Structures are given as C-alpha cells and as structure tokens.
Structure 1
Amino acid sequence: MNASTPPELPPVFSQPTPGGMAGTPKPQDDPKAAYNILADKIGGVPNLRKKDNVFQAKMVGVFLLIGCGAGWGLGSWPSGVGIGALGGLISGTLISGFVLMIRGLRR
C-alpha cells in the first residue's frame, strides 16, 4: 500500500449513488414521479395517481352499499339506512386509505 493513496472504503461506507440514497427510487428528472415518491413515503400531500383514486372510490362505494344493506336489515328505512350509509362511508374510507398506505410504502 502506497502512503500517498488512502485505502478504499468498505462497501457499507461507499458514496451514495447519484440521484439519492441507495435503494430509493429515482425520479429521473420527472416532477410527477418525484411528487408521487414524496406522497407515498412521507405523506401529508394529496395522492394524484388516478389508479389509486379509482381504487379508493370503488372501495368506498362497495362499503357504502354494504352499510346501507346492513342498516336496512337492522333498522328501519330512513334512520337505519342513513346510519348504515354513514358507517359504510367512514369504514370504506379508513380501510381503503390503510390499504393504499401499505401499497405506497411497498412501492
């Protein structure tokens, strides 16, 4: 080993790859891709992916129908169906949001 050249760093301490940390997706100079990565990993901003929004709308609709049916069976027409619809909307939004959160973290 020559005294004028420093030893090579082990792979654990190697320099980060250009464009970010190792193992993170690269936006490749696309602002939309960078925004989607920010929305998935950090949150706090609206998700603009059409596929995710359509998935959430379908899930909320299905839970709304299930809640209306359950309210119809357990209660009477106006109050039972209304309470069931409200429960379906809330549970559909929370469950589909949780599924989208897990999918976003796995991307």
Structure 2
Amino acid sequence: MGIGMQIAYLGLPGTASLEAEAAVQLLRLQPYGTYFSDCQLVIEHVGQRSGSSLYEVRLEIGTAALALRRIARCVRDSAEAAIRCAFNKAVRALEILSAHGKL
C-alpha cells in the first residue's frame, strides 16, 4: 500500500496542475512509507507582496507514534514552487530522522 495524501486549499481553488505537482512530489516520500501511511498537504494563498501572490504550503505526516506531525513549511510566490520546496524539506527531514533512528 502506498502513502495516502489529503490536500486542503485555503484561499484558492484546487487545480489539476497543483494536484499533479503534489502527486509527483509524493512519490519522493515512498522510500519512507514504512514509517507513515498518510500525509496532509495544505496549500494556502496568504496574500500579496509587491503585486505578486504568496502561497504557504504545509506538509504533515501521520505516524503510528505521533498523530500528525508537521514536517515542512514553505512560502513562495507560486503554489507549485511552494509545493516543491515543502517536499524538498520533507525529504531532507526524513533522511535525517531515518539516519538517526527517530522515525
């Protein structure tokens, strides 16, 4: 069984391109699928700066030992870039936690 993912959109509509980006990035977490079975991705439009939109993305994982644990957060000027950033941080965090036996 793979990792399940719920996506919540706050302040913006969900789009096929955002879901596709999230699905591609989720594949990067598969090597750590034995440690958790689901994750939640929150994509939020948080306002504007200098005329361009800002998006905050939060990624939480559900583990057996801990209910939900925030593993990454990023703010970028595009939702896609924020998604990639959050998953980059998540992979790094999972690598470190796994190496130290803390997953």
More strand by share: 2
Pick the structure with greater CA Rg.
Answer: 1
Please report the TM-score for the alignment, with normalisation by the length of structure 2.
Answer: 0.36
Q: Which has the higher contact order (CA 8 A, sep 6+)?
A: 2
Q: Which has the higher helix share?
A: 1
